[in-house]
Structure 1
Amino acid sequence: MHHPEEEEDYDYESLGSNTTMLQNAFAGALAGIAEHCAMYPVDSIKTRMQVISSNTKIIQQQPPVTLRNLWKGVNSVVLGAGPAHALHFATYEFCKDHFAANSEGHHPLASAAAGACATLAHDSLMNPFDVVKQRMQLRDSTYTSIRECARNVYSKEGIAAFYISLPTTLVMSIPFQSIQFATYEFFRKVLGSEATGYDPKTHIFAGGLAGAVASSVTTPLDVVKTLLQTRGTSSDLRIRNATGFRDASTIIMERYGVKGFFRGFRPRVLTHMPSAAISWSVYEYIKWLINVQSNPEKSQQKENFVSL
């Protein structure tokens, strides 16, 4: 039997299917830029803590930390995060629908698989921008623009420098994003968003918890990735000639032991908790806003939300 009042309820689970791939991509691009820009200074601190150097004299001679130099390289993130996150979220929504993760109940494996597919697309596009970002984040970096940094890296180390960390990045990012997406979807449903419709508090809490869990588990891989992406700036020949994941892991283990794989753990978690909360809440809001705009009969709900 048809119930007219059911059409007036805002079906949260239909958000992904009611928005087009282009709209999902647009929402994802805004979410990615907001996420990275908001937490960029903390990410810079994390990168500097993870960089390994055997020369303590060089470390002592490095310039003092200022808020201004903590923002170096943010242009690279803005330039790369927009298209990379657009591809990321569009792929995620497509795969989530394809794997039936949108159906009623909890589907962690389907959500994780969709997150893994989205990560492959995202990281392949984002990795060169991430290399430039981390080179500019270094405390002793003298680069004044992303073009200068990219040109210098290319001329000295070749195109391979932009992709040497990609295998490690994928090894880290696939479990990270799989855990994050599965955890987010789980907490989003547990916290009541599935039943109550669009709820910003749910997206913030679920996103923050997902970011904390995923970043905690994958910190060791992030330390290895940072070593590989910044190896060209090191005065240590062993680090400078690191050829991949195994080589980098051996160096870290020899220098610092197991503790070395958790360098920058706190700022990494402190970066990903709020950044995931920001990313998911912005993404879900933009999708909701697009959906409301395309459904005039639901404009009353938008007005009620804005008035809160």
Structure 2
Amino acid sequence: MSGIEEPDYEALPDNAGLAVNMLAGALAGISEHAVMFPVDSIKTRMQVFATSPVAVYTGVGNAFTRISATEGMRALWRGVGSVVVGAGPAHAIHFGTLEAVKELAGGNEAGNQYLATSLAGASATIASDAFMNPFDVIKQRMQLHKSEYRTVLTCAKTIYRNEGLSAFYISYPTTLAISIPFNAIQFTVYEHVKRFLNPRGEYSPGTHMTAGAVAGAVAAAVTTPLDVAKTILQTRGSATDPEIRNVRGMSDAMKIIWKKDGLKGFARGLTPRVLTIMPSTALCWLSYEFFKAAIRSD
């Protein structure tokens, strides 16, 4: 045994306080997004309707190999700055709201609090997505094939000058349509898988990772069709297709997906989305639980 004592996880209160949860969430969010960013870049490219054959990919491996060979590895990281800047505060808002609503709704009481945990997840999403949506738009514009943007600030200024403030929020209703069920599903599945694997509530990194991965995979698969629509909305200003450039909302995006690719179009990017979200949610929950326990033990 080392001389450093581990935090007594079981002795910590269920609700550690707003500041602790927000700081833990911010650190977890940055860790989550930065690690899996290259796969997320591939997902974005697979979801857009590219006009150039060079930008059409048959799978994650094919995309990774071709992008690395033709554009270099750095292209897979383009836009990560937007995520780093936005993810910390957005996740702080998310987890702070999550734990506050969970406590108020009775989610920390004994038993399976399905309604409380779902409500907490949905409430956290509304708040955090309002902050994060513009950063996500910038990120996806920078991830595109032959993107003209090299810095977050340049991208933001250009979008604002050419398309106005609305460009940063045209996808917000769709983002909420994804995120509310995504986070409600993720948080609920996470809580119940965690309790099933670790009924004593001990600090267990393996449990947090496993529960997070399962929760993320389920939520990602269910919400992929909406994510394809969101990508079309967020990248419309960079599209050459006039029909896509003039898309006005989620309904228009859905119609375009159906017209251009049929039912299979709603599964575009499914594999990289799940591959991104599974480890990222596992890392997010692992980091969150670790930082929360570590901060409270100081």
Question: TM over 0.5, yes or no?
Answer: yes
1:204 to 209, 227, 235: 209
Residue 35 of structure 1 pairs with residue 32 of structure 2: yes
Deviations 1:71-116 (A, max 9, x none): 0000000000000000000000001111111112222221111000
**Change in 2 beyond 3 A, CA 1:197/1:246:** same
In structure 1, what residue type is equivalent to 2:218? V
Q: CA deviation at 1:10?
A: 4.1
- Aligned counterpart, 1:306: none
Give the letter aligned to residue 217 of structure 2: A
Distance 1:34 1:168 in 2: 25
Judging changes above 3 Å, is the alpha-carbon distance between structure 1 residues 9 and 27 closer, same or farther for their aligned structure 2 residues? Answer: closer
Instruction: Give the structure 2 partner of residue 236 of structure 1.
Output: 241
Q: Do 1:109 and 1:182's aligned partners in 2 also have CA atoms closer than 8 Å?
A: no
Residue by residue over 1:201-246, the C-alpha shift from the partner in whole angstroms, topping out at 9 and shown as x without a partner, is 1100000000000000000000000000000000000000000011
> In structure 1, what is the Cα distance between the partners aligned to 2:167 and 2:124?
23
Task: Work out whether residues 39 and 275 of structure 1, in 8 Å CA contact, stay in contact via their aligned partners in 2.
Answer: yes
CA distance in 2, matches of 1:281, 1:58: 38
Conserved 8 A contact 1:73-1:137: yes
| Range 136-145 or range 201-210, more displaced | 136-145
Contact 2:20 2:296 in 1 (8 A): no
1:115 equivalent in alignment to 2:121: yes
> Structure 2: how far apart are the matches of 1:9 and 1:24?
17
- Ranges of 4+ aligned residues in structure 1 off by more than 6 Å: none
In 2, Cα distance between the equivalents of 1:69 and 1:9? 44
The secondary structure found in structure 1 opposite 2:140 is helix
Q: Is the 8 A contact 2:186 2:218 kept in 1?
A: yes
Query: Which of 252, 263, 266 is the aligned partner of 1:261?
Result: 266
Question: Is 1:149 matched with 2:149?
Answer: no
Give the TM-score taking structure 2 as reference length: 0.91
Bigger Rg, which one: 1
CA distance in 2, matches of 1:109, 1:124: 23
| Structure 2 counterparts to residues 89-238 of structure 1, below 5 A | 89-192=95-198, 194-238=199-243
Distance, in Å, in 2 between the alignment partners of 1:45 and 1:57 is 15
**1:247 corresponds to 2:252:** yes
Of 135-144 and 252-261, the range deviating more from structure 2: 135-144
Aligned CA-pair RMSD: 1.7
Match status 1:288 vs 2:285: no
1:9-50 Cα offsets, whole Å, 9 max, x none, are 7436x5442x22111110000000000001000000000000
Aligned residue among 67, 70, 74 for 1:68: 74
Say whether 1:21 aligns with 2:18. yes
Count of residues paired in the alignment: 281
Are residues 1:46 and 2:52 paired? no
For residues 133 and 41 of structure 2, the distance between their equivalents in structure 1, rounded to whole angstroms, comes to 16
Instruction: Using structure 1 for the length normalisation, give the TM-score.
Output: 0.88
Kindly, what percent of the aligned residue pairs are identical?
A: 52
The unaligned stretches of length 5 or more in structure 1 are 1-7, 294-308
